[in-house]
Amino acid sequence: MADWLESLDRLARERAKAGLTRQLRPRAADDQVVDLAGNDYLGLSDHPAVIDAARSALEVYGLGATGSRLVRGSTDAHAALESALAGWLGTADALVFSSGYLANLAVVRAAAAICDLVVSDAYNHASLIDGCKISGRPVRVAPHNDPAGVAAILDAHPGRTAAVVTESVFSVDGDLAPLAELHAVTSARGALLIVDDAHALGLLGPSGGGGVAAAGLAGQPDVIVTATLSKSLGGAGGVIAGAEPVIRHLIDTGRTFIYDTAPPPAVVAGVHAAIELARVAEDRRATLFERGARIAARLRAAGYPVVDPAAGVLSVPAPGPEAAVAWAADCRDRGVAVGCFRPPSTPDGSSRLRLTVNAGVPEADFARALDVIVECAP
């Protein structure tokens, strides 16, 4: 065996020994599993209005965008979606990418053009961490959700322009960042605040406008918002929203925008329809928060130290990676899909189940799923 193949085989054995092997499990179109693992928080991915909008765009534009945004990939559907997103998020402008991951890579790299220091929350998503790595700037990791810690880092580097990067609702544990306090720190020191609003968009803030809006920061010129369009909106793609000069800079220099094929117009049109539904989905948001509190109460009664989720993510500690895998597998065998998060997906090296609340799941199915999760617990 070639040396490099032997090296890969050795690494695979080491991952297996540590309980960190992962598997792809394709689901059929008629899959009947109760979904408490995906991110379709408002249950809009299969809403008839979303499907109709995507179908109509598919008939008009065809399957793909056929090029990058700056060549042939920008359509009037893309422009309409960007206008709707800017209006919803309360920003001057917005730019759509083909994924939230690519949007996060782009936003940190763009900030590096005007900042000479990047401060990243210790629990940030991998896409933000990778953005920091390619930024070409010194990166300081701040203690999780600690405005005082951020202030100390900034004060230790006087005269340097900084970008502070955080999530609004953190993707693994589901806790809420103290955005107002962080902004007070950054604005007093002339720093940018970059917020990944992926798990708050559609759930928090006025009309579901996100965690930044909920914190009263919508439209602040020194705040840049990113989000994925694949969670509460049930589609695919990403967005960066902020002041017009930020978007202008991204159009001119953003490598993951310039060199990537545009999102398919059918997906873009479907997401636009989902925004119109999400803005007025107070009943679905109420269902989501009621169900999140119910899950937390049930798990606490079973002895698990969980808190009511800030949005749609609830993290449940497991004794270790093998126990987390077994718990998730037992649930799946009984018709319930739950998330299983192990290193390196978990920032603190511990393992847990991640439950995501879906307001579109029928009540009887949700109640049964909750029973299954508790009964399968280690």
With 0-12 / 13-18 / 19 or more C-beta atoms within 10 angstroms meaning exposed / middle / buried, residue 252 is exposed
State pLDDT tens for residues 90-147.
Answer: 999 999 999 999 999 999 999 999 999 999 999 999 999 999 999 999 999 999 999 9
Q: What is the pLDDT of residue 42?
A: 98
CA distance 257 to 262: 8
pLDDT at 1: 65
CA–CA distance, 40 with 46 (Å, rounded to integer): 10
Cβ–Cβ under 8 Å, residues 229 and 239? yes
Instruction: Reply yes or no on whether the pLDDT at 178 is more than 70.
Output: yes
Supply the DSSP symbol for 341.
E
% pLDDT > 90, the chain: 87
**pLDDT tens, residue by residue, 211-220:** 999 999 999 9
CA distance 377 to 371: 10
pLDDT digits (tens, 9 = 90+) for 22-55: 888 888 888 889 999 999 999 999 999 999 999 9
Q: Would you say residue 344 has pLDDT above 90? A: no
Number of CB atoms found within 10 A of residue 296's CB: 18
Burial profile 220-249: b = 16 or more Cβ within 10 angstroms, e = fewer: bebbbbbbbbbbbbbbbbbbbbbbeebbeb
Instruction: Categorize the per-residue pLDDT at 349 as very low, low, confident or very high, splitting at 50, 70 and 90.
Output: confident
The pTM of this model reads: 0.94
- pLDDT at 19 > cutoff 80: no
What domains sit in the chain, N to C, each tagged with a CATH number? 21-42+282-375 (3.90.1150.10), 48-279 (3.40.640.10)
- Do residues 145 and 175 touch, judged by C-beta distance below 8 A? yes
pLDDT in tens, 231-255: 999 999 999 999 999 999 999 999 9
Which tens digits make up the pLDDT trace of 282-303? Answer: 999 999 999 999 999 999 999 9
Query: How many residues in the chain?
Result: 378
- Output the pLDDT for position 88: 98
Alpha-carbon gap, residue 121 to 145, rounded angstroms? 7
**pLDDT at residue 16, rounded to an integer:** 87
- Residue 139's DSSP bridge partners are 118
Reported as a single tens digit per residue, the pLDDT across 87-106 is 999 999 999 999 999 999 99
Q: What are phi and psi of 225, to 5 degrees?
A: -110, 135
Query: DSSP string spanning 108-154?
Result: HHHHTTT-SEEEEETT--HHHHHHHHHS-S-EEEEPTT-HHHHHHHH
CA dist., res. 250 & res. 326, Å (int) = 44
| pLDDT at 118 (0 to 100) | 98
pLDDT band with cut points at 50, 70 and 90 for residue 320: confident
* Calpha distance 367→365 (Å, rounded): 5
**pLDDT value of residue 176:** 97
User: Residue 52, Cβ neighbours under 10 Å: how many?
Assistant: 13
- pLDDT number for residue 335: 96
- Alpha carbon of residue 158 to chain centroid: 32
Q: Is the pLDDT of residue 345 over 80?
A: no
- What is the C-alpha separation between 186 and 278, in angstroms, rounded? 31
Q: Mean pLDDT in the chain? A: 95
Q: What is the DSSP string of 244-296?
A: HHHHHHHHHH-HHHHTSBPPPHHHHHHHHHHHHHHHT-HHHHHHHHHHHHHHH
